[in-house]
Amino acid sequence: FRKFNFDVVIHLAAQAGVRYSIKNPSEYVKSNLVGFFNILENCKNKKIKHLLMASSSSVYGSNKKLPYKETHRTDNPIQFYAATKKSNEIMAHSYSHLFGLSITCMRFFTVYGPWGRPDMAYYKITDKIYNNKFIELYNRGNHKRSFSYIDDVVNSIVKLIKKKPPKEKNSKARFQILNIGNDKSVSLKKLLNIIEKNLEKKSKKKLLPLQLGDIKDTKANINLLKKITGYKFKVNLHEGMFRFIAWYLNYKKK
């Protein structure tokens, strides 16, 4: 912020992960709460024209209504990571109202692809099958997720840069929340089957019960994203995992 002058901030950095938020919540306070506060302060001071910030589908918590819509309740988080992301949304709204910042909160749904996080299920499963290790399938593999390929997510963000939110009716805020994810939901069992076919290897499985803090199913309603940007997700899970595994195998050779 000191060195460069720019109009738009896209803030994607955070301490992510459900399990680690149970083990070490203080890291989430430092990165996700204090860290995001610093972003807001700098955006205010530099009069940034549009802040686009990463939130998460985990804010929907124990909400049973599927697909998730931006208007659904999000005041029942079931893990601390989700609580920090919901807090970010509230912090952002207050700064938008008080200081006239235009802010778009993007609720991402299970983003995957090349160079993805090694702690994500698709990456861990691929890595363990490749290395002939047992994979742990929580909830016996019956979770469902809106797996969202990285290229589609990035294209959505790029489309949103110039789509500043309109002013709200009941406040001075220029603020919007958008789901960004594939509107097709797929089970972990299906994901496992796709990975096995691509690697041409069978997995060794441990079927385990639901983990503390895990959301059973997610499914994105992206009607608002389509209305604002006109963008439709193009990459299905078969194609996306083919691309990821091609990258993974090449990465392992280096």
Q: Catalytic positions, please? A: 81
> Given phi > 0 = left and psi -120 to 50 = alpha, else beta, which region is 249?
alpha
DSSP 222: -
Beta bridge partners of 142: none
List, in order, residues 6 or more apart from 84 with CB less than 8 Å away: 14, 21, 28, 29, 32, 33
Measured between alpha carbons, how far is 229 from 232 in angstroms, rounded to an integer? 9
Quick one: which of 85, 84, 59 has its CA closest to 70? 59
Residue 242 CB-half CA count within 13 A: 5
